[in-house]
Amino acid sequence: MADNKELTKALKKWEDGPVAKTVDKFPEREKEFLTLSGIPTNRIYTPLDIEHLDYMGNLGLPGEFPFTRGVQPTMYRGRFWTMRQYSGFATAKETNERFRFLLDQGQTGLSIAFDLPTQIGYDSDHPYALGEVGKVGVAIDSLADMETLFEGIPLDQVSTSMTINAPAAVLLAMYIAVGEKQGVSMDKLRGTLQNDILKEYVARGTYIFPPSPSMRLITDVFSFCSSNTPLFNTISISGYHIREAGSTAVQEVAFTLADGIAYVSAAMKIGLDVDAFASRLSFFFGSHSNFLEEIAKFRAARRLWARIMRDRFGAKSDRSLKMRFHTQTAGCTLTAQQPDNNIVRVTLQALQAVLGGTQSLHTNSRDEALALPTEESVQIALRTQQIIAYETGVGDTIDPLAGSYYLETLTDEIERRAIDYIEKIDAMGGAPLAIENGFIQREIHNAAYEHQVAVDKENRIVVGVNRFAVSEEQTIHYLKIDPQVEVEQLGRLKQVRESRDSDKVDSALQALRTGAEGTDNLVSLILDAVRVYATLGEICGVLRDVFGEYKAPDIL
């Protein structure tokens, strides 16, 4: 206590002395120093700011509850994070070539971007798909495309992440079927299925079905995978898209974990034991621009989720309490102006993710504000991760910034504010009802608006945009999707339909319809349909007929 008294006295002398004659104010700042979540940042932090911390209760050791310092006892001293570049464009053949290129460059995991028709359950020849085939990801219409996508890539040797949500069960079935054709049993498959429909309703928009049947599909995946694919992560609960839509870091944590609570509750409601499925839940966060706030965000989210799983859901296994997460650098921070500046942004954001203890990382490419990334840009993005891993030494010790008076204070404050949001959402009846009444959407919209106003007023500086702009000629070479891609994809789809056994397809689709109208687990039925080359659009079409389609309410 004497030490604290001495410190308090020294701080008072410091504040009344040279500091009293200075002003903390840059010309572009109209208000106090704030993080991007609006958390005030003090001039200095000391042991007084963290004297309330109970070390074992709040921090603990790496690999031990509450996992503030990391989910593994050795973290990157045991193995580096998975370097998983998000890739997909044009057809399965072109994307397979990009996968092979990245694996040759040292990438350690695959991550698939699907085109818009695939994401919303339409085949490439559907009228709604016109002009969108292969544009923002790879077109996958049937098992034949999935076979081409992984040609020459043994599924027992890679981990694959799939950014797919409404039709997630269909793409999972296709992946399982490809494994079978390669002689890899489903219990050997490793990877992650995004499968997070709630954030689609608030942030991303690639939903198909209403919430209730969508949640049924998700819990069906949980149930099927807990018995059949023990190495596969059945959901990646995504804060990334919430953040890209304009949320703050605090909102990203709160809304993501509120969605996670809804998924766990739904699974337990149908009789699944929490410890039977919780270890295969994973999370997905963005890494934005405020360096220390982002690191604190990752630590706070990990700690808060551990407590939720233990105290709310009664999980007993340590594996059920651990928040394992993938991180992607923030696409919304990339600028079309001076695109080489994005290399610097991505480097810092990647470093934040590593210092925050991520299990997997995608680094965006410099040209993504302009177009799909070229091979050259993707290589730079991957090399960024490799340089951090092999040259900087930041992974040599676990949680190297722990004990920072500011970082620990910020971690506490983010957790406290996230809890406040979760309690509000609980009072509304949980995330699905909070989404239905528009609360989460309004909070994100308001945060996005406030951020843009701050940028427009130059209270937040975006280098090269509202400060330090230059006259420039664009020299980056764009990756352009040839319109002939759509023609070729339609030809392949026609060939699949002509060569398959139509009677088997009809029988499988009818069985799926009957199951959807009843209470059967739909994953097995979808897998049967996929094996006989029923298309994504045909399978989703059956489910549309039974479940209907979701129409977003006007919440503004």
- Which CATH number do you get for residue 72? 3.20.20.240
Q: In whole angstroms, what is the distance from residue 512 CA to residue 525 CA?
A: 5
Asked if residue 480 is part of any domain, the answer here is: no
Q: Is the dihedral of CA 194, 378, 107, 173 positive or negative?
A: positive
What is the DSSP track for 525-548? Answer: HHHHHHHTT--HHHHHHHHHHHH-
Would you say residue 550 lies in a domain? no
Indicate the pTM of the whole model.
0.94
Cis peptide before 66 (omega within 30 of 0): yes
Q: What is the pLDDT of residues 174-209, one digit of tens each?
A: 999 999 999 999 999 999 999 999 999 999 999 999
Residue 25: its pLDDT value, please? 62
Burial of 482 (0-12, 13-18, 19+ CB in 10 A): exposed
Give residue 283's pLDDT: 98
* Vertex 530 angle, CA 528 and 534, to 5°: 110
Q: What is the pLDDT of residue 473?
A: 79
- Stretches where the chain sits below pLDDT 50 are 1, 30
Among residues 328, 400, 409, which one has the least CA distance to residue 161?
A: 328
139 within 8 A of 489, measured Cβ to Cβ: yes
Residue 67 belongs to some domain of the structure: yes
Contact in structure between 107 and 85 (CB atoms under 8 Å): yes
Question: pLDDT digit string (tens) for 517-544?
Answer: 999 999 999 999 999 999 999 999 999 9
Reading the block at residue 81, the tokens are 């994070």
What's the total number of domains in the chain?
A: 1
Contact by Cβ (8 Å): 198, 262: yes
Token match 């029923």: residue? Answer: 534
Domain extent for 393 = 55-456
Please give the Cα distance from 61 to 399 (Å, whole number).
10
- DSSP bridge pairs for 111: 86, 161
Sheet architecture: strand order including 232-233? 232-233, 190-193, 159-163, 109-113, 82-87, 360-362, 325-329, 281-287, 235-238
Is position 420 within any domain?
Answer: yes
Element (H, E) at 523: helix 522-531
Instruction: Tell me what pLDDT residue 83 has.
Output: 96
Neighbour count for residue 236 (Cβ, 10 Å): 24
The rounded distance, in Å, linking the Cα atoms of 415 and 299 is 9
E strand or H helix that includes residue 377 = helix 375-391
Report the Cα–Cα distance between both ends of the chain, in Å, rounded.
53
Query: What pairs with residue 396 in β-bridges?
Result: none
Nearest-CA neighbor of 199 among 500, 486, 432, 517?
Answer: 432
Tokens representing 476? Answer: 């980056």
In a domain, 246, yes or no: yes
Q: Do you know the residue count of the chain?
A: 556
Residue 144, domain member (yes or no):
yes
Give the integer Cα–Cα distance in Å for 365 and 301: 26
CB atoms within 10 A of CB 140: 32
| Cβ proximity of 517 and 523 under 8 Å | no
What is the helix (H) or strand (E) element at residue 114, kind and residue range? none
Q: Is residue 92 part of a domain?
A: yes
* Nearby residues of 533 by Cβ (< 8 Å), 6 or more positions away: 142, 143, 144, 496, 500, 505
Could you tell me if residue 530 is inside a domain?
A: no
Per-residue HEC secondary structure of 193-208 comes to: ECCCCHHHHHHHCCCC
How confident is the model over 290-314, as pLDDT tens digits? Answer: 999 999 999 999 999 999 999 999 9
